[in-house]
Amino acid sequence: MEDDMDIKTTIVNSLSAVLADELNNTEIKNLLEVPKSSKLGDYAFPTFILAKSRHQAPQKIAQELVEQLDHEPYEKIEATGAYVNFFLNKGNFAEATLQTILTSGDQYGDSQVGQAGNVPIDMSSPNIAKPMSMGHLRSTVIGNALANIYKKIGYQPIKINYLGDWGTQFGKLIVGYHKWGSEAEIKEDPIGNLLKYYVHFHEAAEKDPELDDEGRAWFKKLEDGDPEATHLWEWFRGLSLAEFQKIYDRLGIEFDSFNGEAYYNDKMDPVVDELKAKNLLQESRGAQIVDLTDENLTPALIKRSDGATLYITRDLAAATDRYNKFHFAKSLYVVGSEQTEHFKQLKAVLKKMGDDWSDDIIHVPFGLITKDGKKLSTRKGNVVLLDKVLDEAVDLAKQQIAAKNPDLAHADQVAHQVGVGAVIFHDLKNDRLDSFDFSLGEVVRFEGETGPYVQYSNARAQSILRKAKREVNLDDVLNLADPNAWDTIKYLADFPAMVLRAANEYEPSVIAKYALRLAKTFNKYYANSKILVEDDQLNARLALVKATSQVLQQSLALLGVQAPDEM
RNA sequence: GGCCCCGUGGCUCAGCUGGAUAGAGCAACGGUUUCCUAAACCGUAGGUCAUCAGUUCAAAUCUGAUCGGGGUCACCA
């Protein structure tokens, strides 16, 4: 970043020296661009804007500027068409970039823009007694990546798993368990059997609507603190959590809090009271609502006509609680895009309550995953179980290792890293908002633009470093002049800017795409240039290999993907 | 119907605050291993950037309309 800024400033100053009468520094800076191909140069200045005032052809202006400019700080300056193209001094730039990266180590790209502000992140949020599907994966891995990215730029992320652990479904579950379940069955396969009772309940309730009343009655008991209901709830919740934990362990993701919906049960009354006190609550069709027509939103339903609370009531309590606890700089909600309206309502209600911090609540939506074009639904059996996908991916990775690298040490561990890495990376590489239809073949692919491709590139880099049998010496030559290496060096210098962009856009895919691009140029580099040759550039080449490996590892780490040294 | 998102080669997608001949990956076809792991690299073929109009010296990118797909529109979360 520093280097990038310095270079841009240098170029702006150069241009300013000959254009001071026509354009100021900011204008020049905004016009500067990076050519599509580095054959055209490293930075370009388009001259179209001067054509009018000078009454000259842009091509001619470009040529004139090249003649007037001071060429000294650059390798060369050329006029190509209407552009003035600047070529950086490659040796110097390589030296500075590699020096910065290798001395900063894992801190390369760190910044303090967050000023240690708290950033609670609402993420993952699976429902108790239901299996985790591919749908939950998105929220989980996006939230985790954003936590890593925000930490890197100086914030204090707080990962909150807002479990779906309350609601009428628990009454239904209890009824289902009483009618068809057994302790032994549940111990054998907790989630599988709880889900079975739940599905069974819904089937039975179709024919016998009285079951629904029974379910509601048991939920009422639960709310009233009935000992049996409470005991069963705690039991189901604990079992589910243990199952979830296995998946989180496989993914390598940890949380700072598991405060789910149940946690806010006793925190809703104060919010409702406050709404009442501020005259925001009104009755409509028997329900209590906050009118939001002035915000062009549908009314927020705070209490049902039977007096029960709703999703937004709990979320209001949760948001307030999080603010009181953390005084957050931002509060992120990594929740599907189908809930966009809900978060608009949430913010609008908080705003009406006078909570200005509602501006810092940010919904980070993501696109829907479908299966055969249809929305995933646990009840309808249209599910893609996350556990199964991970199994499949790890199995495939094992097969790949057996075929390609049979002598690999710790093969099982690497298979896990590669298989899981492929699944996570696949979910993060595209724009958050893109919806996609689930395809196992696509998710567990290891070739082309995939996580394993990046991992492989890093493993190759590590392999070269091992074979070098010497350390990179930062006091020795670093001014790598090989043209094949140039794109890699420039991309390496881009990393800090990419981290900031990913944070600003709440978009982990920025990092994923960056890692792919860096891996690709690096692969191209070492396919065309031999690294391990004894000459005066060996140290510089090894420095590049090391720096690349380091940045690839950092990028993967930000995404929550592991990077094996060998694969 | 109102509001929101999306529409780029057979498939999946990049294209940053508008700029130089629209880029990748997969699939297809051909090539590269006595050479640092062929999970790689190189090449060939494939696109009127949904359509129309507007703004601009310049539009895949900005504006409006049309068509097509998805989401959402109070007592689920």
Rounded distance between C-alpha atoms, residue A446 and residue A480, angstroms: 32
CA A486 – CA A488 distance, rounded (Å): 5
Question: How many whole angstroms separate alpha carbon A567 and alpha carbon A555?
Answer: 18
* Same-domain check for residues A54 and A129: no
| Residue A441 CA distance to nucleotide B45 C1' (Å) | 25
Residue A64 in domain: yes
A423 and A551 part of one domain: yes
Asked if the structure places residue A340 within a domain, the reply is yes
State how far the Cα of A434 lies from the Cα of A30, in Å rounded to an integer: 30
**pLDDT confidence of residue A71:** 94
Q: What is the ipTM of this complex?
A: 0.96
Look at residue A381 in the predicted model and tell me its pLDDT: 66
Q: How many CB atoms lie within 10 A of CB A512?
A: 27
Could you give the angle at which helices A311-326 and A268-277 cross, rounded to 10 degrees?
100
Domain match, A367 and A399 both = no
CB-based contact A423:A501 (threshold 8 Å): no
- Does any strand B atom come closer than 7 Å to the Cβ of A528? yes
Residue at minimum CA to C1' distance from nucleotide B15: A36
Question: Angle at which helices A411-428 and A227-251 pack, to 10 degrees?
Answer: 100
Same domain, A393 and A425: yes
Question: Does A285 reside within a domain?
Answer: no
Do A143 and A204 share a domain, yes or no? yes
Q: A88, A107, A141: which is the final residue of a domain?
A: A88
Cα distances (Å, whole numbers) of residue A83 to A2, A40, A47, A455: 25, 10, 6, 38
pLDDT value, residue A5: 52
Is A132:A389 a contact under the CB 8 Å cutoff?
A: no
Both A490 and A516 in a single domain?
Answer: yes
Residue A564 · residue A418 · CB < 8 Å = yes
A54 touches strand B (CB under 7 A): no
User: Are A349 and A442 in the same domain?
Assistant: no
- Token pair 């057994």 in the structure block, residue: A182
**Tens-digit pLDDT profile for chain A (567 aa)?**
344 557 888 999 999 999 988 888 888 988 999 998 888 999 999 999 999 888 899 999 999 999 999 999 999 999 999 999 999 999 999 999 999 999 999 999 999 999 999 999 999 999 988 889 888 999 999 999 999 999 999 999 999 999 999 888 888 899 999 999 899 999 898 888 998 888 888 888 888 888 888 888 898 888 888 999 999 999 999 999 999 999 999 999 999 999 999 999 899 999 999 999 999 999 999 999 999 998 889 999 999 888 888 999 999 999 999 999 999 999 999 999 999 999 999 999 999 999 999 999 999 999 988 887 777 777 666 778 899 999 999 999 999 999 999 999 999 999 999 999 999 999 999 999 988 888 899 999 999 999 999 999 999 999 999 999 999 999 998 999 899 999 999 999 999 999 999 999 999 999 999 999 999 999 999 999 999 999 999 999 999 999 999 999 999 999 999 999 999
Nucleotide nearest to A567 (CA to C1'): B37
Do A191 and A238 lie in one domain? The reply is yes
Residue ending a domain, choose from A88, A107, A135: A88
Asked whether A408 and A566 are in contact (CB, 8 A), the reply is: yes
Q: Is the domain of A48 the same as that of A147?
A: no
- pLDDT, residue A380, reads 67
- Closest C1' nucleotide to A436's CA: B12
CA-CA distance, A469 to A542, in Å (whole number)? 11
Smallest CA–C1' separation from A166: which nucleotide?
A: B77
A197, part of any domain: yes
CATH at A49 = 3.30.1360.70
Is the separation of the CB atoms in A454 and A484 below 8 Å?
A: no
Q: Is the CB of A513 under 7 A from strand B?
A: yes
Kindly state whether residue A540 falls inside one of the protein's structural domains. Answer: yes
The CATH number that applies at residue A518 is 1.10.730.10
Whether A98 maps to a domain, the answer reads no
If asked whether residues A140 and A57 sit together in one domain, one would say no
Q: Contact at 8 Å (CB) between A512 and A429?
A: yes
Domain harbouring A254, CATH code? 3.40.50.620
Same domain for A408 and A354: no
Closest CA to A393 of A367, A349, A426, A366: A426
What is the spatial distance between Cα A186 and Cα A458, in angstroms, rounded to a whole number? 44
Does one domain contain both A135 and A226? yes
Please indicate, yes or no, if residue A356 is contained in any of the structural domains: yes
Residue A492's nearest CA partner among A548, A421, A447, A565 is A548
Q: What is the predicted pLDDT for the residue at A2?
A: 40
Please report whether residue A292 resides in a domain. no
Q: How many domains, in total, are found in chain A?
A: 3
Q: Give every CB contact of residue A171 below 8 A, 6+ residues apart in sequence.
A: A214, A215, A216, A217, A218, A219, A220, A221, A222
Residue A166, token pair as written in the block: 């309350």
Residue A485, domain extent: 386-559
CA nearest to A492, candidates A468, A458, A518: A518
CA nearest to A174, candidates A114, A222, A122: A222
Distance measured from the CA of protein residue A273 to the C1' of nucleotide B55, in angstroms: 53
Residues A240 and A169 sit within 8 Å (Cβ to Cβ):
no
Q: How far: A407 CA to B34 C1' (Å)? A: 22
